[in-house]
Structure 1
Amino acid sequence: MTNLFSSFDPMSSLFSFQINWMSSCLFLVAIFPLFWISHSKSSIIWNEITSYITKEFIPLFKSYKNIILFNVLFLFILVNNVFGLMPYTFTSTAHISMTLSLALTIWVLLMLYGWINNTKHMFAHLVPLGTPIVLMPFMVLIESVSNIIRPITLSVRLAANMTAGHLLFILLGESMVNNKVIIVISITVAQLALMTLEAAVAVIQSYVFATLSTLYASEVV
C-alpha cells in the first residue's frame, strides 16, 4: 500500500474499466439462486429477513407494494457490507460516492412525489402543529435545512462507519509485521473480535439506512 487509504482506491482497472465497482453485483449473486433453488438455505434466510423487515415497515404504509423498494434497499446494502469484510474484496458502501448516490436518488424521488402529489401536506410539514406565529419563519428555515441535509447524513453515516472498521483492520494488520509471536497472536484475537463487531455494524448500518429512508417516505406518503 502506498498509504493508509489505498485499500479504498477504486481505480484499479482492466481495459479502462473500473472493475472494483463490479463488487456491487454481488447483490445479484445472493438474489438469483432464490428463484431456482427451492427450499435452499439462502431462500430460508431471505424469507426470515424479509418477513422481519416487513413487520417493521408495514405500520408506516398502507400496502405491501411500498415496502418492496426498502426491502431490496436493505438487502443490497447488507450484502455489500458483509461481502466487504472478506479479504481482497472492494467495499463499495465505504465510498461516499456510492452512498450519496443511493441517498440522493431516494430523497429526490420522495421530494418530487411529495411536492407534486401532496403539496399542501409538504407545506404544512414545514411548520409543526402548535408553533407560535413569531417562531413560524424560523421553524420553516430549520425544517427546510433539516430536510435538505437528510441525504448527506444518510450517506456519511454509512460510509464513515464502514470506513472506520476497515481502517482499524489495516492498522492492526500493519502492526503485526516483524513483531513478536505473542503480539501477533494477541492482535489476531483482537482482529477476530473486531470482525464480529464489524459484522454487527454491517447489519445495523443497512437496517438504519433502510429504516430512515422508510421514515422519510412515510412523511411524504
Structure 2
Amino acid sequence: MMTNLFSVFDPSTSVPSMNLNWLSTFIGLIMLPSMFWIKPSRWHIMTTKIMETLHLEFKTLLPNVEGSKGSSLMFISLFSMILFNNFMGLFPYVFTSTSHLVMTFSMALPLWLSFMMFGWMNNTNHMFAHLVPQGTPPLLMPFMVCIETVSNLIRPGTLAVRLAANMIAGHLLLTLLGNTGPYLSNLLLSILITTQILLLMLESAVAIIQSYVFAVLSTLYSSEVN
C-alpha cells in the first residue's frame, strides 16, 4: 500500500540494497545497434529519419564554427535518451527515471558546466559582453549584469526541474484518477477509462515535447558561448 502519492516514483525493488529499476534507463542501448542487419529494419529507418530531421534543426541553431561539425550528434543522443526514458515511464510497472532530479540534474549540470568553462576560457570578452544586452541604458547596466548572472546560474536547475516536474505531473494525475476506479459505477468507470486514454495520449505528446525542449535549450546554451 502506498504511503503517499510520490511513492510510485520510488526506485526501490524487492532485492535489498539494489535499485535495479535504474537499469531501465539503459534498455534503449540494446535497441540501437543495427550492424548485424543484412537489410535496414523499419526501426533503423525510422530512427535514421528522426536523426536526420533533428540534425537539420540543430544545425541552424549551432554556430558555423570551424571544428564544430558533428556537434549536433551530442544533442541528438541526449534527445533520444530522454525520449526513450519518457516513453518507458508510460508503461505499467516501469520505473520513470526522468522523473527524478538525480537523473535530470546529472544531464543538465555537466552540459552547462562544460559550456561555461569553454566560453570563459576561450571567449572571455564575448561572455562579459553577453552579460549586458545590446541597447541597455548605462544606469541599468549594473542591474542587468546581476540579472543575467543569476539567470545564467539557474539554467541547469531550470532544465532539470522542467523535465522532472512535467513527468511527475502527468503520472500523478493518472495515478489519482486510477485510484478512484474501484469505487465508481459502470458508467463513470467507462468515462474514467476514456479520460485515462486521452491523458495517456497527452502524456505521449509531453514525452516528445519535453525531450525536444531539453535538447533545443541545451543547443541554444552552447551556441551562446561561441
Residue of structure 2 in register with 1:186 after alignment:
191
CA distance in 1, matches of 2:30, 2:105: 24
CA distance in 1, matches of 2:69, 2:188: 53
When structure 1 is superposed on structure 2, of 202-211 and 173-182 the one drifting more is 173-182
1:45 aligns with 2:69: no
Q: Normalising to structure 2: TM-score of the pair?
A: 0.93
CA distance in 1, matches of 2:176, 2:57: 37
Indicate the percent of aligned positions where both proteins have the same amino acid: 52
Matches within 5 A, 1:11-90: 11-12=12-13, 14-32=15-33, 34-37=34-37, 38-59=39-60, 60-62=62-64, 63-90=68-95
* RMSD between superposed Cα atoms in Å: 1.3
Q: Normalising to structure 1: TM-score of the pair?
A: 0.95
Shift of 1:178: 3.5
Residue of structure 1 in register with 2:207 after alignment:
202
Question: Alpha-carbon deviations, 1:104-143, whole Å to 9, x = none?
Answer: 1110111111111111111111111222222111111111
CA distance in 2, matches of 1:109, 1:78: 23
Matches within 5 A, 1:209-220: 209-220=214-225
Structure 2: runs of 5+ lacking an equivalent: none
Question: Alpha-carbon deviations, 1:20-60, whole Å to 9, x = none?
Answer: 1111112212322x333341111111111111111111122
CA distance in 1, matches of 2:45, 2:186: 42
Q: Residue 44 of structure 2 aligns to which amino acid in structure 1?
A: S
Secondary structure of the residue aligned to 1:5 is: helix
Q: Residue 99 of structure 2 aligns to which amino acid in structure 1?
A: A
CA distance in 2, matches of 1:111, 1:180: 57
Q: Provide runs of 4+ in structure 1 moved above 4 Å.
A: none
Contact 1:127-1:140 at 8 Å conserved across structures: yes
Question: Alpha-carbon deviations, 1:165-210, whole Å to 9, x = none?
Answer: 1011111110101321112211111111111110000000000000
CA distance in 2, matches of 1:35, 1:69: 21
When structure 1 is superposed on structure 2, of 172-181 and 201-210 the one drifting more is 172-181
CA distance in 2, matches of 1:100, 1:77: 12
Distance 1:35 1:61, change over 3 A: farther
Contact 1:13-1:19 at 8 Å conserved across structures: no
Q: Residue 43 of structure 1 aligns to which amino acid in structure 2?
A: H
When structure 1 is superposed on structure 2, of 55-64 and 201-210 the one drifting more is 55-64
Q: Residue 36 of structure 2 aligns to which amino acid in structure 1?
A: W
Question: Alpha-carbon deviations, 1:2-21, whole Å to 9, x = none?
Answer: 22111101132525221111
Residue of structure 1 in register with 2:164 after alignment:
159
Residue of structure 1 in register with 2:8 after alignment:
7
- Number of equivalent positions: 220
CA distance in 2, matches of 1:13, 1:122: 50
CA distance in 1, matches of 2:23, 2:77: 18
Residue of structure 2 in register with 1:143 after alignment:
148
Matches within 5 A, 1:115-126: 115-126=120-131
